[in-house]
Amino acid sequence: MPRDLSSAVVRFAARLRRQGLPVTLIHVTDAVRALEHLDLADRQELYLGLRAVFVGRPEDVPAFDRVFEAFWRPVTEADAVAEALLPSLPDETPAAEREGELARESLALDAWSDEDGEAGDEPLGVPAASEREAMAAQDFATFSEDQLDAVYRLTLQIARRLARRISRRRRPSARRGRIDLRRTLRANVTRGDLIDLRFRRRKRRKVRLVLLCDVSGSMDLYSRFLLQFIFALQSVFSRVETFTFSVRLTRVTEYLRGRSYREVLRRLTAVRDWSGGTRIGESLGEFNRRWPGLVDRRTIVIILSDGWDTGDPEVLAAELLRIKRRAGRVIWLNPLLGNPSYEPLTRGMAAALPLVDQFAAAHNLAALRSLAGTLRL
Amino acid sequence: MRDEIRKIQELMEAAEYVTDAPVATSVHLAMRLRKPLLIEGHAGVGKTEIAKVMARMLGTNLIRLQCYEGLDAGTALYEWNYQKQLLHIKLHETSGRSAKEEEREIFSEDFLLRRPLLQAITQQQSPLLLVDEVDRADEEFEAFMLEVFSDWQVTIPEIGTIKATHPPYVILTSNRTRELSDALRRRCLYLWIDYPTYDKEVRIVERKVPGIDRRLAGDIARFMESLRGMRLNKVPGVAETLDWALALASLHADHLDEAVVRETIGCVLKDADDIRRFRAEVQKAGLEPFLHVPS
């Protein structure tokens, strides 16, 4: 293989990476190997071959196409093929354009992070026990900006302690189940008979959570605390899928994966929909259509919203019913429920209530703590 | 185009599988680079079929591992045949052999039940391992599988390590009900199969329903294309197209009209809301918009 060709592949891979494709060294070596098995004079074949190597999900295809189009330019003379495979483009995509995009992006990302400050990495003091209890009973919305950081920390602390306790409870018990022949035999192999019986316990499978969080208006704050809380609890569940909605539904699971909560909150801002108004029914409908496989009998679906729906309540009821039929349990969290004088009278809430298995507040830490105790099937 | 790729395409067509260049190129590279091929796409677009055709092309065994939620390493790899072991112990109770001998005897290959993954690495010729609907298995299982794929060897405590002399070709399919890990994606070549284009669907219908009216086949493909553009709860796949085409052919239809569609729409739409929405659409504007050539 010509040296130039391999180095062209390396540069091509670098461009793909710059466009956000998760390209690794494995991909590059595979691509170089793949070229030996492709007809390089056939641009379409080259395209399909490289795509099979570099693209791992359909969403990446448009970016791949753009880079490919610009990099591997077609030529007319067949004997100039090798030369043409060398990139002859100016190295950068229009810089001004890219910077504009970046600036817009970081603008969105900063909107939340500013308010909890940048200096937060050193451990701040943890409130004393009595203070903590008082804090746990206080509605999230009533904290001042400078208190929020301490509340986040406490949320995390409580969630982690709960996670430890829940996983301890899951350890095998002495309860007897079906006899496990395989292990019984193994244990008794030196005896003539089966004396020491071994039992098979049903492996307890963890439940799956699907969170659908309203991020319009005042619900935004509560959604952030709920996400924070579940995020710290997530080792207890087999899988947590998270969506946010206001007018549109957005899947944010990927944004939340393996990051510090500070970063998580920062990332969430990028997907926030500022236009106001909530269409719960439509959002649930979109969830049902696009991710039907996420809900099964082992799944608890949690919806956080005040039920203030600007859409049609019948759509809301129909879509919610669709979820309820498949889910293990449906929990609706309405932070307004924390107010003793609140009555669920909005049309959306009235339509939804008969269809949910559990209706709870989630307006403060105490409420989240008691919620955690119910997240089992 | 490489002759090999053209050959693959021809072989696939000969095996009644209507294909195109992306499929053939991916299969070609998967065989050449000996890398697993991950095929994703909606239900019913013919992912599993590719594995079957590929096995036939390679003239090798197809070993299928169907994934489901809760599938664990034991079920996928091997289990001891404990009934047989038990029987063996009972039969030789009075033979006076030592426990050690006995143990060696019953934990030998004779008492081993080979599950698909173990089967796949103990063949005399590289087989084709099809890991079907990998998205339905848990993430833990995915990790376990990656481990097996990395060196094609398996350790059974009682017997020792078994290493594949003829590592299998691997095809994984996923319906995308959950996101697969990046680690898995990195290990694989990737092929996304979308719903077929109009031309491809016409070819599929004509191939699979021999003797179907030309115009009808065209109408069906056009109709399916429009239908998939609607907001549906259950978008029909190629399997639905074929069911429908068969039904229509047996009714001796030669084109689509409102009456025929009304009677047979159940072959294609399988959700009450979808059917209601579709009927409302037809009531409003007739069948024409569904058969219209999109610009």
- At residue A185, the pLDDT reads 74
Q: Which residue has the higher pLDDT, B231 or A324?
A: A324
- At residue A333, the pLDDT reads 92
Residue A119 has pLDDT above 70, yes or no: no
A37/B103 CB distance under 8 A: no
Q: CA B185 to CA A57: how far, in whole Å? A: 8
Residue A374 near residue A209 (C-beta atoms within 8 A): no
Rounded to 5 degrees, what angle do the CA atoms A247, A350, A219 make?
A: 40
The 10s digit of each residue's pLDDT in A195-252 is: 666 666 555 567 889 999 888 777 878 888 888 888 777 777 878 888 888 878 888 7
Question: How close B79 comes to chain A (CA, Å)?
Answer: 9
Nearest CB to B177; choose among A238, A293, A298:
A293
DSSP characters for A232-264? Answer: HHGGGSSEEEEEEESSSEEE-HHHHTT--HHHH
Residue A319 has pLDDT above 90, yes or no: yes
Residue A219 near residue A336 (C-beta atoms within 8 A): no
Radius of gyration of chain A (CA): 27
- What is the rounded average pLDDT of the residues A250-275? 61
Report the 10 Å Cβ neighbour count for A110: 13
- Taking CA–CA distances from B102, the nearest residue in chain A reads A189
- At residue B275, the pLDDT reads 92
Residue A76 has pLDDT above 70, yes or no: no
The pLDDT > 70 percentage for chain A reads: 69
Q: CA B54 to CA B15: how far, in whole Å? A: 10
Nearest CB to B21; choose among A48, A292, A293:
A48
B26/A48 CB distance under 8 A: yes
B233/A34 CB distance under 8 A: no
B232/A289 CB distance under 8 A: yes
- Taking CA–CA distances from B101, the nearest residue in chain A reads A190
Phi and psi angles of residue B294, each rounded to the nearest 5 degrees, phi first: -70, 145
DSSP state of A188: T
- What is the rounded average pLDDT of the residues B172-197? 88
